[in-house]
Amino acid sequence: MAALTNNLSSLKLSNATNNRFRSRSVLSTVSVVSVTRRRLMIVATETDLNEGNAEAPNTAPSKGGSSLNQLLGIRGAAQEKNKWKIRLQLAKPVTWPPLVWGVVCGAAASGNFHWTSDDVAKSIICMVMSGPCLTGYTQTLNDWYDQEIDAINEPYRPIPSGAISENEVISQIWGLLLSGLALAGLLDVWAGHNFPTVFYLALGGSLVSYIYSAPPLKLKRNGWIGNFALGISYISLPWWAGQALFGTITSDTVVLTLLYSIAGLGIGIVNDFKSIEGDRALGLKSIPVAFGVEAAKWICVGAINITQISIASYLLGAGKPYYALALLCLILPQAYFQFNYFLKDPAKYDVKYQASAQPFLILGLLVTALATSH
């Protein structure tokens, strides 16, 4: 945790009034923005685009931006002055459902969840730990270390726009992290664990989140490692937490969830298409930057589909043909939406594609969880 404090304090924002924002500086000497954030982020966008002869990204919200988008933490957000709404936007509630669903799948895979008030209460606390607390911590931390990139790609976001102060961001990071770890410890006591499994899973996930976003490791610099780390954080860890809460993590669970983390890698690539300009400017080797848009979209689709087909084959080999067939049936609509939205224009249709296709993938997670519980 000392590393987190040192890195956060090293990014103190100065009150410099430079007329140019050097978006191509190395990550270890992060450019700083304070009172003049609004002015500098506009110059940053113009500078980068003039140097690259690219079209300006169409990410700035209009005056009529969506209040719902603001609360969910997605593009097209309305500008807000209410600090609690801004804090919620930083935590990106739209990213919480996969973690919440992971807990559901873990509880189902344990085979020991019962619809009693005690089990339901434990599962809800585990969902709050995984979603609002630790995912909120992850997203706020990521925005803190991505403020240079956001100044190019999404300059209206709370930190580059100056809507929230540095001290408020740091307090939110610590508050959410410590709340999540405290809930994890409570769950271990509640479940009667001799070894604090849920706490150590939460602590490990928090560490992965930190090294994903923060230098010197900053896993997101590499599209393969970074997106696989995301897949583990969003699929494997909450599943393991839910299963450990009600039972024991099995070898089957570890294999299947790590396979699903490869699909999570593909999902992470979907989000990289909207950040190409900023990633390229700051030297981040995301898959679309490293391989180009055309190749990257097929890598993305392949990671998602091949993983699920492999898991269906695993279930078939384990003597569970009906679960394997159900999973294959859930892959078909995903492929349909991939061809009709994502493969046509991944940057334009990323949100529409995910809203259409992701429900079938997460249903497949539950099918797999139920298969392992029998």
Q: Which of 48-52, 200-204, 301-305 has the lowest mean pLDDT?
A: 48-52
More confident residue, 120 or 97: 120
Question: Residue 9: its pLDDT value, please?
Answer: 46
What does the buried/exposed string (b/e) look like for 264-301 if buried means 16 or more CB atoms within 10 Å of the residue's CB? bbbbbbbbbbbbbbbbbbbebbbbbbbbeeeebbebbb
337 pLDDT above the threshold of 50: yes
Instruction: Tell me the pLDDT of the chain averaged across its residues.
Output: 83
23: amino acid identity, one letter? S
More confident residue, 66 or 91: 91
More confident residue, 177 or 42: 177
125 pLDDT above the threshold of 60: yes
256 pLDDT above the threshold of 60: yes
Which domains are seen in the chain, by residue range?
Answer: 2-13+33-59+86-373 (1.10.600)
290 touches 223 (CB < 8 A): yes
pTM (2 d.p.): 0.76
Extract the tokens encoding 63: 């005056």
137 touches 181 (CB < 8 A): no
Q: What is the mean pLDDT of residues 300-325?
A: 95
23 pLDDT above the threshold of 90: no
Q: Which of 4-8, 142-146, 365-369 has the lowest mean pLDDT?
A: 4-8
